[in-house]
Structure 1
Amino acid sequence: MSSIPKVTIIIATYNRAPFILEMLQSIHKQTFLDWEALIIDDGCTDNTLEVISPILQQEERFHYYSRIKSYTKGTSGCRNYGLDIAKGDYIIFFDDDDVAHPQNLELCVIELSKDEISFCRYIRTSFFGDFDYSFDYSKEYVSFYIDVNDIEKVLKYELPFNSCAVMWKKKCFKNSRFNEDISYADEWELYTRILSQGIKGISIEKCLFYGRKHTDSITGEFIRNNLNRKTSYYKAILLVLGNLKEKKLLSYSLIRHFIIMSLGFKEYNLFSKIIIILDLSQYKKLKWQLFYVLLPLRLTVYKLKKRIIKK
């Protein structure tokens, strides 16, 4: 291995003493060896450092940093700090409470060795409680290419782009960073922004990452209607719309999708903000306003039809 690693793993951490060691151990067991792992402490107040100190001393490829004040507190700030000090040609973000498949880095690096490929996406699944370490080590899998034409699938979660389910060539972040004003859907906003630049990647149909489900996770907070997380999602939606509008990538179905989403953000007046961003003609504006007004009724009828069909 050279002094400059091929892969940089960036792990933002905050008060994950019960889980983080299992994450680091899964990195230590990777079949691909040429990596560095940057652990960015976001101001932990528990005994995280005490828990991971033995593995830090044992393995020199792990590097521990405290987030510096020039980066905003939160996952986005920590990841941006990690990006700015990363040495690897390839970048991947792991969460501090999950488990990575032993072949995660190996298979992604193989795919990224192709010149035309800028990122490698793979399958991520979830687990509760104790993790089952029965891994599938097969290298046989189906793959397909992803480009700007797949943005709609990504935004609709038909093609999930979880932060821990993509390895990127570092060049993808040359002029792109996480928005530190948002603490939820930050990767959703950034990754679609990168995709909108016209890069090409590949998706491999093999599970290489396992996300732990628990009530203290960021997603868990959003599900419980945490105000900060919901506000961040609202901000992310506006950023995504603004970027797609600028790049002329907004389709009718995407506009429809976001207007339907706006029903869940009435307290933010999201529908009106969307209409402003779209900068429509008066006719089209009235058309979407009518769609929005009738939307609750249409959704109710749709749900009733589904119930009748099930019976």
Structure 2
Amino acid sequence: MIKTPLVTVFMAAYNAEPFIRQSILSVINQTFGDFQLLIVNDGSTDNTVGVIESIKDPRIKLVHNDGNRGVFYTRNRLLNLAIGKYIAILDSDDVASPDRLELQLAFMESHPDIALCGGNAAVINESGELTGVNYIEPFDETIEVFMLFGNPYINSTAIFKKDVFLALGGYKDYDPAEDFELFTRIAENYPVANLNQTLVNYRIHSNNISIKDNSRQIKNEIRVLHNLRKQLGLTNDELWSAIHLSLYKRQTNQFTVKEYATFLSEVKLANRQTKRYKQNILDEFLFNKWYEILRERKAKAALFLFFDNRLFKWRFCTFKQVRKVFKQSFFSLRNR
């Protein structure tokens, strides 16, 4: 009887010849060896297939799409092909840390309520050299709330339960934001987590999908953000949509400070009705988001605005925050 591996590592590949060998070897050389490496070739026209086939390991399963079908179709082949209890994602240009699977599977097995787990990443360049940039993701109770304003999951660090993936119907057509959309659906229905450890080297290069398909990504991110507001019962107001997107993109110069305060307070009030998020966690997160906006905008009346009673609570406030907004307001007045 053939033993079923604990985890399926999934890799979608399209013209990945320059990087895929390093990606595959980073899986083959994991400290945890009970895996299936499922690679779906999405109609590559370079030597991607040749590189894959040159690596001999019985844990590798290579399948081919009938032409270039795109990320959404390719990733949903997991619905029928994944055989592990868990599904771990690794993009064909990224490199897994040697103990990535061991760390995540130990966590998932000891926390059976968790449906999705990610972690941090170190950024590498096209040549595979560390850039010194690190992506540090939230790993406490703020993860779900963070999703309102950003994606707390680096795709190549994600591992999730296969039965949850099947129950939710897999990926939806939000390419190239289909990973973020899936993660929001998982978080809506199940507990999620992140490990405060570096799990992958994330490669930045000219052919990154998020760089090439930026306009399409923004369009589908807007759809995801709409879904998140809908969970809160917020109307699909065009102004709210635009403000929400600017916060997601960290472009806080698009609207007035008062408009941002109103939007954040509306989120806070809406959650009191729907109870989508734990109110104390959301309130503190929104207050800190408000502080970030004031600092980024260099608002002259920062001290007065900081104490906006719709968002401010003393228990969320630190002395350092008060000192910074006081100095900001003082120097603004002095330089008039």
Q: TM-score scaled to structure 1, two decimals? A: 0.70
Could you tell me how far 1:215 is from its partner in structure 2? 0.5
Task: Specify whether residues 163 and 249 from structure 1 end up closer, same or farther in structure 2 by C-alpha distance, changes over 3 A only.
Answer: farther
Residue pair 1:20, 1:97 contacting (<8 A) in 2 also: yes
Number of the residue aligned with 1:97: 93
Higher-RCO chain (CA-CA 8 Å, sequence separation at least 6): 1
When the two structures are aligned, how many residues end up with a matched partner? 251
Residue pair 2:85, 2:161 contacting (<8 A) in 1 also: yes
Task: Specify whether residues 232 and 32 from structure 1 end up closer, same or farther in structure 2 by C-alpha distance, changes over 3 A only.
Answer: same
Q: Percent identity?
A: 29
2:170 pairs with 1:177: yes
Q: Which stretch of the first structure deviates more once superposed, 103-112 or 1-10?
A: 1-10
Q: Which stretch of the first structure deviates more once superposed, 12-21 or 120-129?
A: 120-129
Aligned match for 2:78, one of 72, 79, 82? 82
C-alpha separation between the residues in 2 aligned to 1:7 and 1:262? 37
Q: Which amino acid aligns with 1:211?
A: Y
C-alpha separation between the residues in 1 aligned to 2:140 and 2:2? 31
Number of the residue aligned with 1:291: none
Trace 1:1-311 onto structure 2 (pairs within 5 A). Answer: 3-55=3-55, 58-68=56-66, 73-113=69-109, 114-131=111-128, 144-146=139-141, 150-157=143-150, 160-173=152-165, 174-180=167-173, 182-197=174-189, 199-222=190-213, 229-242=214-227, 244-245=229-230, 247-248=231-232, 256=240, 258-261=242-245, 302=297
Could you tell me how far 1:16 is from its partner in structure 2? 0.8
Task: Specify whether residues 244 and 195 from structure 1 end up closer, same or farther in structure 2 by C-alpha distance, changes over 3 A only.
Answer: farther
Residue pair 2:119, 2:198 contacting (<8 A) in 1 also: yes
RMSD: 3.5
Greater Cα radius of gyration, structure 1 or 2:
2
For structure 2, list consecutive stretches of 5 or more residues without a partner in the other structure. 131-137, 250-265, 267-292, 301-327
Provide, for residues 103-125 of structure 1, a one-character-per-residue CA deviation record: whole Å limited to 9, x for no partner.
01000010011222222221122
C-alpha separation between the residues in 1 aligned to 2:157 and 2:246? 27
Q: Which amino acid aligns with 1:123?
A: N
Number of the residue aligned with 1:290: none
C-alpha separation between the residues in 2 aligned to 1:258 and 1:38? 39
Task: Specify whether residues 212 and 264 from structure 1 end up closer, same or farther in structure 2 by C-alpha distance, changes over 3 A only.
Answer: closer
Q: TM-score scaled to structure 2, two decimals? A: 0.65
Name the SS for the 1:130 alignment partner. Answer: coil
Task: Specify whether residues 62 and 45 from structure 1 end up closer, same or farther in structure 2 by C-alpha distance, changes over 3 A only.
Answer: same
Name the SS for the 2:232 alignment partner. Answer: coil
For structure 1, list consecutive stretches of 5 or more residues without a partner in the other structure. 134-142, 223-228, 266-279, 281-297
